[in-house]
Chain A
């Protein structure tokens, strides 16, 4: 039986998340991959890995905020798709509006999606999973309004957004993720909003009784998630060079896997951004490594699912303080 540590220690807290288990598995896989393929541990490959996870990383930042507050957001993939296709339509020949306006509109779309989610969840009181499941379908349907236009993105500024490497090595998208995570970490640690968010995730009734404006903070957290989803949508059209209505389909499960493996607890109140970042790097490296050692396409799905189940199961066994009776 584990003793309760009286003093709060960040290291102990980190050791209690699933991230250490994940790192252990990662080391084994890293060995396997570098033995299996000489191209794995090259600068070229690492550069690619880091540039590829931009979209998921940005979305993960948003979902982390929502999940720490005890919520759930499945609509990020669709929100990213909507922001992406609308901005690429606005950039089409004949419309071509001033580039900063595109950013503003995309971000507004994301925040609007978040606001709608938040209002339904807090004011009507529907379970967040159901609400965002509904908005996921609705927003994806709305994306198809522009399906026939098939817009390409020729705007250089937008193209460069997700394609530049600083000094030829360091992808600028990784910089975005680091900045986003750092800002969020500071918000979590030093602002009232951040502390309130953790309180709400830990015990909503308590937070309400303590006078925290629960509804407002939850709505803001969903808007933050929508905001990041919109940025992810812009990165998608930047990296892929066109806008398609199906962009971002299924991203929610991918991102959810990353966030959960990063130690964010479903139900809220616990989680840190460092863990999410580590999980992001690890999951993406493993996806890449499986391609390089030529694992059959279909087996990769099994590995990914098994990884999720294994890590979470080990975490569940490890964190069991007392015998679970029910």
Chain B
């Protein structure tokens, strides 16, 4: 892979920023089209708030998964993690535990799941695709076993607020979480030593190791954080639906990974940006919302999603080729 150059060279950085800018232009155009075509509905409160909630929930998980993907690994188990967290939350609330304690336990469970993935990948040395497909089955299976396949009502003031609360009576709480997570992730990835190390590990693990970076530690912590944010996403979803069921988050891994790849993150690692992921999440959400407003049959949306994914990545590759030719 020729594009795995060192990070920090001005030209590379230049390209990355440009890609993100293009994504935001696409988003603006898409937004304009959908608000014009879907005129009366698109800007109504009934459409916007669910869209924002949905988008925040996807974005919360996508931000840290970007970090994992930049290190060159992948986590398919996020969907299973969300399902298990939802079941756990609902069960603990049913037992009568206070809301804040349930949140803490759920996040701790997420951390444990992330740590397990991280240990498999860094400690044992299993390929992360295989390892996380395996743990995906395990998490979801445990969720099903705990609840016996049923959905459990999850009502509690704290849990309700996470997904359906409003700050100053207008701003939905999930988007507040989203903004906080993205700001932290952006600062870490683009303006800290730790972020540089993540890019270095993804570009060339051997060189990073030789220059004294603890590659395993970087990867492990990325997986750990990914587990925590995935279960935070699970909490938001539980709150939005007011129910904990093991099917929560099924197939979500593909949607989230699509959003991240749309944002310009390369599967091999070393390339990608938090802002790009944010744009990817927004684009997919607005696109889905638009298609729903246009009353397009759910299954045909898959065609659109797949086509968009392939087209955008083709555009990246062709651009990369053109740049290479110019040099």
Give the interface of A toward B (CB within 8 A): 120, 124-127, 129-131, 133-138, 140-144, 147, 245, 253, 256-257, 260, 266-267, 296-306, 308-309, 312-313, 316-317, 320, 324-326
Contact = CB atoms under 8 A, between A and B. Distances in A.
B138 A309 contact: yes
Contacts of B135: 305, 309
Interface stretch (B202-210, B237-245, B280-288): B202-210
Given A266-B127, A309-B120, A302 B310 contact: no
B299 A308 contact: no
Nearest to A140: B302
A141 B299 contact: yes
Contacts of B130: 260, 266, 308, 312
A302 B84 CA distance: 12
Given A134-B306, A135-B310, A267-B127, 10 more contacts: A131-B310, A131-B313, A133-B257, A136-B306, A137-B305, A140-B299, A142-B303, A296-B145, A306-B138, A317-B125
A234 B214 CA distance: 51
Given A141-B299, A305-B135, A306-B134, A135 B306 contact: yes
Determine the interface band of chain B, counting residues with CB < 8 A from chain A.
35 or more
B138 A326 contact: no
Contacts of A326: 205-206, 208-209, 215-216
Contacts of A144: 297, 299-300
10 contacts: A129-B267, A134-B310, A136-B306, A143-B299, A304-B141, A305-B138, A309-B134, A317-B125, A325-B209, A325-B215
Contacts of B141: 298-305
B137 A304 contact: yes
A126 to B, nearest CB: 5
Nearest to A120: B310
Contacts of B94: none
Contacts of B136: 305
The winner among A140, A266, A296, A305 for most chain B CB atoms within 10 A is: A305
A25 to B, nearest CB: 14
B309 interface: yes
Given A130-B261, A306-B134, A298 B299 contact: no
B65 to A, nearest CB: 15
A137 B302 CA distance: 5
Contact of A302 (B138, B209, B297, B304): B138
Contacts of B142: 302
A10 B306 CA distance: 42
